[in-house]
Structure 1
Amino acid sequence: MPWLSPRRVPAVLVRYKARRVAHLLSGCVLTALAGCAIYRPQPLHPRPAAQNASALEVPAARMPMPALRSHRFDPSNGLDVTETAMLAVVNNPRLRTLRDRLDIGRAQAFEAGLLPDPQLAASRDILDNPNADVSSAYSLGLSYDLGPLLTRSARVTSARASQRQIRLQLLWAEWQTIAHARLLFDQVHALRAQQHRLQRELTALRGLDASIQKALRSGDLDYAGASAGLDATAQVRNQLADTSRQLDQAESDLRGLLGLAPDAPLRLTGPDWQPRPSAAQVAHAEKDLARRRPDLLALKAGYAAQEARVRAAILGQFPDIQVGFNRARDTSNVHTHGFSIGLTLPLFDGNRGRIAVTRATRQALADAYRARLLATRNDVHRLVAALHTLRGQIDAAAEHAHRMDRAERSATENWRSGALDWPTWLAIRASALQADLQMNRLRRQRAKASIALETLLGGDWTDATTPDAPSPKTGNRSS
């Protein structure tokens, strides 16, 4: 056959081997593509806020605290303080973002465990003037970098510790969100009670204000004599306006924390959350603080991750090694095969800069952990002392408010019977009002300090039998 003549045999062999090389490369490319991810667009759509808490699913098993896991979520007759905290854990927008970070941490841990890919290199030299004495040249090479294998164990350890750090940071954020929900519940409750008290006071003064205005118009009373009555009504009206603004802000903050729409109804029911741990509970929790607080555990996990990074940096100072195998043919039709070894000589860099950075970062994390632990202990002692002081203040304020309430009732009876002038009656009423408002403020301060102490100690004082402990819902307070 003419196509198998001796002159054409080398060209046929060249084309045959070229096809083999092309098939080999095609097979490698197809194998690599088989494991590739596929791009799918994900349009950005705004998530509408919930209009009602009843439309949301709140699984108790996902709650981070025993007091929440053992509580049944039923907002049909209003949200109690525990249900408010449960809803905040599930539906808070900031916690959703932190949970996405946890997915990123898992992906980074997966990435750290992957082995490096080998590298395939191929080349082909085509003859411009082919003849029987020369042939086209080609080369094939397969190489692998052994350097990442030396640091893989340290990188995996660091990634897993970082993933645990993110998980603990999420838990700490959930604890803080629970505390914030309890504080806002108490704030809304207290401001609604204060608003009701001021409205009741304004209603009581409305009759006197009308009488004073009538006396001014008839000339039976001048403005000097009427100033006490006019000032009393104006002050109560201003206090009511300030309280209403504060209440609107607190309700808006609570809706935002719960992930509810701005116009969603906010029905709160039941008592406030005011934990009162015993001195033994506080001492035990403070002693065990480093093993209870998620943020401290997260700092420990971050330190462990950095420790692994230091180890990886030290391992990275060893020469980077690349090994490979190759096969080639030159233009004189000489076939060769062999291997190659490449070394990175650590003469100038030697990874010394990275080692210094990782060690300095490790020291900074250690100092940050010690500073956080010291600050927490100081805050615990400060809050314990504040609660002790507030306990005495509240007892004294409660007794004073009780006396002023009795004085107000007696003064009202005497004023209505004509035995007491109205300026004196107004002065007594003003004192009784301020006593009630002061009592409200002190109770809010106690609630704030108690919830902060519970969060700092990582405690859950559900076994404490106190008058303010959470109990089944007893009534509704509607907005």
Structure 2
Amino acid sequence: MRRTLPRRAMAALAALSGVTGCAHYTPLPLATAPPLAADVRSLARAETIVATEPLSVAQVVDLALANNPDLKAARLRRAIAAGQTRQAGVLPNPSLTGAFLPLLSGGGAVPAWNIGLSQDIKALLTYRTRRRAAVDSERQVAADIVWQEWQVAGQARQVAGDLILGAGSRQSYVAAYRLLAARNAKLEQALAARNVTLVTVAPDRVALQAARTALDALDQRQLALMHQLDALLGLAPDVVVPLATQIDLPRFDPAAIRAELATLPDRRPDLIALRMGYAAADEQLRQAIVAQFPDVVLGGSVSSDSSKVINSGPNVAIGLPIFDRNQGNVAITRATRAQLQADYAARLATAVGTVGALLREMEQLSAQLAVARRDLPAARSSADRAQAAFGASNIDERGYVDLVYNRFAKEQEIMTLELGLLDRQVAIQTLVGDGLPTVDLRADDARAVSR
């Protein structure tokens, strides 16, 4: 005769089979040291992005997207949202109840027992809305992450571009300071010999101090920008990132940008995220309205009393909506949806308005830059003639210094205008997403966005 497993062994196997499908704990210790790279070559994807040094602006952007610490942390929110979507898609478990009542006294012959199985019906009615709300929330998180990538890419473009322009303009600042310093040294010697008065020396002292302040401010700004770039790339402080001398940005076409403003809501991740959030809030309102109906629990049970009489049949439990009719949650979700609708309208107006304002500012700066560039050849020519005249003793030193310094001032003015144009161009291209990652919307995503 074939032997069968004891009941205890079968119960143990059943329990083990249930445990194998459960999650298990694994430790995840915190970092004990800041995870900062010591050089550019140590960054993630550096071997594929950085072919040669110095780095172009586009390469800096790619490295920032791959290594920015805030982006790494933000991308993990997608896994949290995916887990919430998965949980929302799980059907509610039925409830199993049972009791075993040993016979203690009386005329009965056997112990009594009962077993019941029931299911919450309201949880099933709200299942679809909960599922859709969770899916929309996950897509909202995905769009928010892409929007954060846009911000990091825009910052990397701006910081790298400003560093390149600043490095190119420093030579002019140094030359102006050295020219005024040499002039001031001679005047100080003349003042000590009582050949000139303090009134004569004072303007040169002021000009020298202004030139030194301008040079110091430029160096301070360059150092602060380098630290910002290190932070964006996940590098240790004071790592010098070698940068190219030319700024490579996507082609800038103001007319095309104005023409595409009408489709901006379909491309900007923050606007898409708000639309997804609105869709999730709309589903939550539907869920709250469905939840107004009374709680209904359906099931069945079988029982046996101590005299071996067995009864079986359905049972139902209905909540009486006397006090709580979910009116508070309906009001909250309705107000939340209205707020998100207003937030979307405000963000859309700001997005379009900001791009239009920056384009207008660029037009003004471009006109001013054209005038400055038109005047630069005359300033350089005057400086060259003054240098030749000073060498032939046909002009005094003060006139020579003034004309040469005027050339430096004009060059610095042009560099300041170019910096302003660059910053606005980067800001516009960040706001419209030129050359930046896009939100991938599948067909069902588009349906959710248009709801």
Following the alignment from structure 1 to structure 2, what is the Cα–Cα distance between the partners of residues 147 and 29? 30
Answer with 330-339 or 80-89: which moved more: 330-339
Q: How many residues align?
A: 430
Correspondence 1:56 to 2:32: no
Q: Which of 214, 218, 239 is the matching residue for 2:189?
A: 214
Following the alignment from structure 1 to structure 2, what is the Cα–Cα distance between the partners of residues 101 and 300? 19
How far does residue 411 in structure 1 lie from its aligned partner after superposition?
Answer: 1.8
**For 1:288, what is the secondary structure of its paired residue?**
helix
* 2:338 matched residue in structure 1: 363
**For 1:76, what is the secondary structure of its paired residue?**
coil
Q: What do you get for the CA RMSD once the two structures are aligned?
A: 2.7
When residues 409 and 278 of structure 1 are mapped into structure 2, their CA distance, relative to the original with a 3 A threshold, is same
Following the alignment from structure 1 to structure 2, what is the Cα–Cα distance between the partners of residues 169 and 455? 15
Correspondence 1:237 to 2:212: yes
Following the alignment from structure 1 to structure 2, what is the Cα–Cα distance between the partners of residues 132 and 361? 63
* 2:28 matched residue in structure 1: 42
Does the 8 A contact of 1:54 with 1:76 survive in 2? no
Identical aligned residues as a percent: 28
Q: Which of 361, 364, 379 is the matching residue for 1:389?
A: 364
* 2:124 matched residue in structure 1: 149
Following the alignment from structure 2 to structure 1, what is the Cα–Cα distance between the partners of residues 365 and 200? 40
* 1:78 matched residue in structure 2: 54
How far does residue 403 in structure 1 lie from its aligned partner after superposition?
Answer: 1.9
* 1:90 matched residue in structure 2: 66
**For 2:406, what is the secondary structure of its paired residue?**
helix
Does the 8 A contact of 1:139 with 1:327 survive in 2? yes
* 2:98 matched residue in structure 1: 122
Following the alignment from structure 1 to structure 2, what is the Cα–Cα distance between the partners of residues 352 and 236? 69
Pairwise mapping of residues 14-25 of structure 1 onto structure 2 (< 5 A)?
A: none
* 1:176 matched residue in structure 2: 151
* 2:230 matched residue in structure 1: 255
Following the alignment from structure 2 to structure 1, what is the Cα–Cα distance between the partners of residues 114 and 272? 55
Q: Which of 380, 384, 391 is the matching residue for 1:405?
A: 380
CA displacement, residues 296-342 of structure 1 (integer Å, 9 cap, x when unaligned): 22211111111211121122222222223333333445443333211
* 2:442 matched residue in structure 1: none
Q: Which of 314, 324, 332 is the matching residue for 2:289?
A: 314
* 2:441 matched residue in structure 1: none
* 1:193 matched residue in structure 2: 168
Q: Which of 89, 99, 102 is the matching residue for 2:78?
A: 102
Following the alignment from structure 1 to structure 2, what is the Cα–Cα distance between the partners of residues 322 and 23? 35
Following the alignment from structure 1 to structure 2, what is the Cα–Cα distance between the partners of residues 276 and 387? 15
* 2:445 matched residue in structure 1: none
* 1:426 matched residue in structure 2: 401
Answer with 253-262 or 426-435: which moved more: 426-435
**For 1:208, what is the secondary structure of its paired residue?**
helix
Following the alignment from structure 2 to structure 1, what is the Cα–Cα distance between the partners of residues 304 and 352? 75
Pairwise mapping of residues 430-445 of structure 1 onto structure 2 (< 5 A)?
A: 430-445=405-420
CA displacement, residues 327-379 of structure 1 (integer Å, 9 cap, x when unaligned): 33334454433332111222322222212211221111112112221222222
Structure 1 gaps of 5+ residues are 1-18, 61-71, 462-479
Could you state the TM-score of these two structures normalised by the residue count of structure 2?
0.87
Answer with 431-440 or 133-142: which moved more: 133-142
Pairwise mapping of residues 306-385 of structure 1 onto structure 2 (< 5 A)?
A: 306-385=281-360
CA displacement, residues 144-167 of structure 1 (integer Å, 9 cap, x when unaligned): 222211111111111111111111
When residues 59 and 308 of structure 1 are mapped into structure 2, their CA distance, relative to the original with a 3 A threshold, is farther
Does the 8 A contact of 2:226 with 2:240 survive in 1? no
Give the AA of the match of 1:238. Answer: T
* 1:264 matched residue in structure 2: 239
Answer with 215-224 or 89-98: which moved more: 215-224
